[in-house]
């Protein structure tokens, strides 16, 4: 497809009455049929996994019984990370500013390997279910655990759930012309079955199926995009000239960056300075991949450390794909639909996509609706919903795990497993409600670059947590007082910057920058580095000035003590039964009259009914803990793949640097 090349620095005055964009194609019956097949597939996988999985215990519900093999673990790591926010946000950042934001993805390739080889052996050795639980074991007391638990839930709402819901709803809005909040309600209804009934096993297996759907759809659209723009040369030559015809005069609005195809950019004046990419980006990324409950929980569900490492390697290889299948198509969308995707006039942008700050987040959806034929549009609709569902179900499961095991159980230590799982499900509803209320803020943030919104908030809240986990895992002298006060001070500074960012939002290209100097001159990646250094100094200073940790706070809880011998403790897994839960309350009700309906209801919620004679059988032996020992030949294969994947990641970064 030929495209019109305009002078790169031309400036065309704003039209007084811009005409609304033409009506975009919508889904046809063939597309709807593809969507129906997709939902039937996902439901079949979901119910199959629910049928074969023990969901009646806390361990079975939250860690899938620690029975997962490497391929569903790796697919779930990828699917949990690549949500609809990536499809919308990564492509939008490519359309707005070039390939710079892909550094977050390639940085993650190193960090997920760090999880499998360095951090996970520590978590497995100490037998934790949640990351706040690890801090409680490592440092003792409850205040650090509670602080981290609340912070994790806060981060999930503001950088995960609301962003993914907004991104998925934006795509449905463009495809079906629905109101965005109606679309959000629809998406929440779709995920309800997994939220209420799934458990981690159902989430992981459906993630594996949805990964295949996402890859098939994304690669299909990539081929259509490159074919239409004229191949690689068409992308490289056309992007620099993709300037909208309506711009604010005497500004840089709508002009592509000169360093659009450079990963390492100017350290002072660019949008992503290269020193910040190396340090300021790596520390929050380490939090996400090595101590975030959503990610670590999938690896903890692996049956052995070997399978967990294999899952990390699979996730690394899959993470090569988003650059080619999501970001570059987003840049192509700017070339093909310059006036809409790259609109530079606020009034026109509001007419096109309902967002004055820009429409680059519509880049991927625009390609889907304009380029793909009937049937394939339905496939890509399924891809977006798959990305959304995989992310939301993962986050919902992990958020309910943290709230239930680290908060509710702290204040109700005698709570039964029945109560814990019911509380976890109810909490999800509250979580969703708060996330919906935050969506208007997401919609108006970061100049229409959804992906940059996610990363900027992350750099204000995650570095103190990363530093505490790093020191806790690798410096035995770190104690509770140092960790707690380092977290408190670091989070206070980070939250102050976060609040200032919302009070003084980044000005648009046609506005003068009157923000305070700490916002105007200190890039958020540099701020991340500074925040990490402050937290590190506080934790080290306070730890050295106070008492040493007790031996039980170090044994099997650091990298150097992970192989310490451990005493075998009797662990009894209590099975929740219909008879025990309702022994008193249903004594006057006929079991025969309600057995079928109630049994079906409680099977859906993961509560098993035990036969009467089973009540007298001894409890089953607890499953063996995931061992740290590995078979030598498998360990060699994994280490060879580790070297290959690291080499690939370093080559890609070096080539585009």
Query: What is the average pLDDT score of the chain?
Result: 78
d(Cα 429, Cα 3) in Å, to the nearest integer? Answer: 48
User: How is residue 100 written in tokens?
Assistant: 């710079």
Confidence of residue 483 (pLDDT cuts 50, 70, 90): very high
d(Cα 163, Cα 451) in Å, to the nearest integer? Answer: 9
pLDDT digits (tens, 9 = 90+) for 257-291: 888 898 888 888 888 888 888 888 899 899 989 99
| Residues 593 and 645 both lie in one domain | no
pLDDT digits (tens, 9 = 90+) for 227-237: 999 999 999 98
Residue 263 lies in a domain: yes
User: Could you report how far apart the first and last alpha carbons of the chain are, in Å?
Assistant: 30
pLDDT number for residue 161: 74
| Residues 449 and 593 both lie in one domain | no
Q: pLDDT higher for 219 or 247?
A: 219
Burial of 596 (0-12, 13-18, 19+ CB in 10 A): exposed
pLDDT number for residue 584: 39
Burial of 245 (0-12, 13-18, 19+ CB in 10 A): middle
| Residues 260 and 315 both lie in one domain | yes
Contacts 24+ apart (CB under 8 A), 266-274: 270/100, 271/97, 271/100, 272/97, 272/100, 272/101, 272/103, 272/525, 273/523, 273/525, 273/526, 274/657
Q: How many CA atoms lie within 13 A of 309 on its CB side?
A: 23
Residue 284 lies in a domain: yes
**pLDDT value at 63 more than 80:** no
Q: What is the mean pLDDT of residues 21-26?
A: 49
pLDDT number for residue 110: 95
| Residues 149 and 293 both lie in one domain | yes
- Residue 425 is inside which H or E element, if any? helix 417-443
pLDDT number for residue 53: 57
User: How is residue 227 written in tokens?
Assistant: 């074919």
| Residues 288 and 139 both lie in one domain | yes
Q: What is the mean pLDDT of residues 468-472?
A: 95
pLDDT number for residue 530: 94
CATH number of the CATH domain containing 124 = 1.20.1730.10
Among 440-454, 475-489, 513-527, name the most confident range.
Answer: 475-489
**pLDDT value at 445 more than 70:** no
| Residues 117 and 159 both lie in one domain | yes
pLDDT digits (tens, 9 = 90+) for 73-131: 888 888 878 876 678 778 888 888 889 889 988 999 999 999 999 999 999 998 888 89
| Residues 588 and 649 both lie in one domain | no
Q: pLDDT higher for 146 or 377?
A: 146
What would the DSSP string read from start to end of 512-581? -----HHHHTS-HHHHHHHHHHHHHHHHHHHHHHSPPPPGGGTTTTSGGGTT----------PPPBHHHH
Residue 392 lies in a domain: yes
pLDDT number for residue 229: 92
d(Cα 466, Cα 83) in Å, to the nearest integer? Answer: 23
| Residues 586 and 449 both lie in one domain | no
| Residues 371 and 431 both lie in one domain | yes
Residue 471 lies in a domain: no
pLDDT digits (tens, 9 = 90+) for 288-320: 899 988 889 888 888 889 999 999 999 999 999
Dmax (CA) of the chain? 84
123, 134 in Cβ contact below 8 A?
A: yes
| Residues 591 and 649 both lie in one domain | no
pLDDT digits (tens, 9 = 90+) for 169-196: 666 776 666 666 776 776 666 665 655 5
User: How is residue 417 written in tokens?
Assistant: 């497993």
d(Cα 352, Cα 88) in Å, to the nearest integer? Answer: 16
Q: How many CB atoms lie within 10 A of CB 178?
A: 15
| Residues 632 and 611 both lie in one domain | no
pTM summary value: 0.79
Residue 532 lies in a domain: no
Count of domains observed in the chain: 2
Residue 127 lies in a domain: yes
pLDDT number for residue 69: 87
Residue 50 lies in a domain: yes
Domain that holds residue 590: 578-616
pLDDT digits (tens, 9 = 90+) for 625-636: 446 788 899 999
| Residues 361 and 396 both lie in one domain | yes
Burial of 430 (0-12, 13-18, 19+ CB in 10 A): exposed
Confidence of residue 7 (pLDDT cuts 50, 70, 90): very low
Residue 650 lies in a domain: yes
Q: What is the mean pLDDT of residues 536-562?
A: 94
d(Cα 453, Cα 440) in Å, to the nearest integer? Answer: 13
User: How is residue 315 written in tokens?
Assistant: 């996730």
Q: pLDDT higher for 263 or 253?
A: 263
d(Cα 32, Cα 16) in Å, to the nearest integer? Answer: 40
Q: pLDDT higher for 283 or 401?
A: 283
d(Cα 196, Cα 209) in Å, to the nearest integer? Answer: 20
């Amino acid at each position: 497809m030929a495209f019109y090349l305009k002078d790169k620095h031309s400036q065309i005055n704003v039209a007084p009455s811009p005409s609304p964009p033409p009506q975009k194609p919508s889904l046809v019956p063939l597309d709807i049929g593809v969507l129906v097949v997709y939902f039937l597939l996902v439901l079949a996988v979901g119910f199959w996994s629910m049928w074969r999985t023990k969901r009646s215990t806390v361990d079975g519900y939250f860690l899938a019984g620690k029975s997962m093999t490497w391929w569903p673990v790796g697919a779930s790591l990828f699917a949990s990370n690549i949500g609809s926010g990536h499809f919308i946000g990564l492509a939008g950042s490519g359309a707005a500013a070039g390939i710079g934001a892909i550094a977050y993805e390639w940085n993650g390739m190193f960090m997920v390997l760090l999880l499998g080889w360095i951090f996970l052996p520590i978590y497995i050795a100490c037998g934790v279910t949640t990351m706040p639980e690890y801090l409680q074991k490592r440092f003792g007391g409850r205040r650090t655990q509670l602080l981290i638990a609340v912070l994790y839930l806060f981060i999930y709402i503001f950088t995960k759930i609301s962003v993914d819901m907004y991104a998925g709803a934006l795509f449905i809005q463009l495809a079906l012309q629905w109101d965005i909040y109606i679309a959000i309600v629809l998406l929440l209804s779709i995920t309800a079955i997994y939220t209420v009934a799934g458990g981690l096993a159902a989430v992981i297996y459906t993630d594996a199926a949805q990964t295949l759907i996402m890859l098939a759809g994304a690669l299909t659209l990539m081929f259509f995009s490159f074919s239409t723009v004229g191949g690689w040369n068409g992308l490289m030559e056309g992007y620099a000239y993709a300037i909208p015809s309506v711009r604010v005069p005497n500004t840089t609005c709508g002009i592509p960056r000169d360093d659009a195809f450079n990963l390492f950019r100017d350290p002072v004046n660019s949008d992503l300075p290269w020193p910040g990419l190396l340090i300021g980006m790596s520390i929050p990324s380490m939090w996400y991949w090595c101590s975030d409950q959503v990610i670590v929980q999938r690896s903890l569900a692996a049956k052995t450390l070997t399978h967990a490492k294999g899952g990390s390697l699979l996730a690394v290889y899959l993470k090569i794909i988003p650059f080619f299948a999501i970001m570059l198509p987003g840049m192509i969308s700017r070339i093909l639909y310059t006036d809409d995707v790259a609109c530079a006039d606020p009034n026109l942008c509001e007419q096109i996509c309902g967002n004055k700050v820009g429409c680059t987040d519509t880049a991927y959806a625009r390609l889907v609706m304009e380029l793909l034929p009937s049937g394939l549009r339905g496939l890509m609709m399924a891809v977006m919903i798959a990305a959304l569902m995989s992310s939301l179900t993962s986050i919902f499961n992990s958020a309910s795990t943290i709230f239930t095991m680290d908060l509710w159980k702290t204040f109700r230590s005698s709570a039964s497993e029945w109560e814990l799982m019911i509380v976890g499900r109810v909490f999800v509803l509250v979580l969703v409600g708060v996330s919906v209320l935050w969506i208007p803020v997401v919609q108006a943030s970061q100049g229409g670059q959804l992906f940059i919104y996610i990363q900027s908030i992350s750099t204000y809240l995650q570095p103190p947590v990363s530093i505490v986990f790093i020191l806790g895992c690798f410096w035995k002298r770190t104690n509770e007082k140092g960790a707690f006060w380092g977290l408190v001070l670091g989070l206070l500074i980070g939250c102050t910057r976060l609040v200032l960012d919302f009070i003084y939002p980044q000005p648009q290209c046609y506005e003068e920058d009157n923000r305070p100097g700490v916002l105007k001159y200190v890039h958020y990646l540099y701020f991340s580095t500074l925040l990490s250094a402050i937290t590190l100094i506080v934790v080290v200073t306070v730890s050295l000035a106070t008492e040493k940790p007790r031996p039980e706070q170090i044994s099997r809880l650091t990298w150097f003590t992970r192989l310490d011998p451990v005493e075998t403790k009797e662990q009894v897994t209590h099975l929740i039964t219909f008879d025990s839960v309702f022994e008193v309350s249903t004594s006057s009700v006929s079991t025969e009259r309600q057995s079928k309906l109630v049994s079906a209801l409680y099977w859906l919620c993961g509560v098993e009914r035990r036969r009467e004679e089973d009540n007298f059988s001894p409890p089953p032996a607890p499953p063996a803990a995931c061992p740290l020992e590995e078979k030598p030949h498998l360990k060699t294969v994994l280490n060879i793949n580790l070297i290959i994947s690291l080499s690939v990641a370093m080559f890609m970064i070096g080539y585009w640097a």
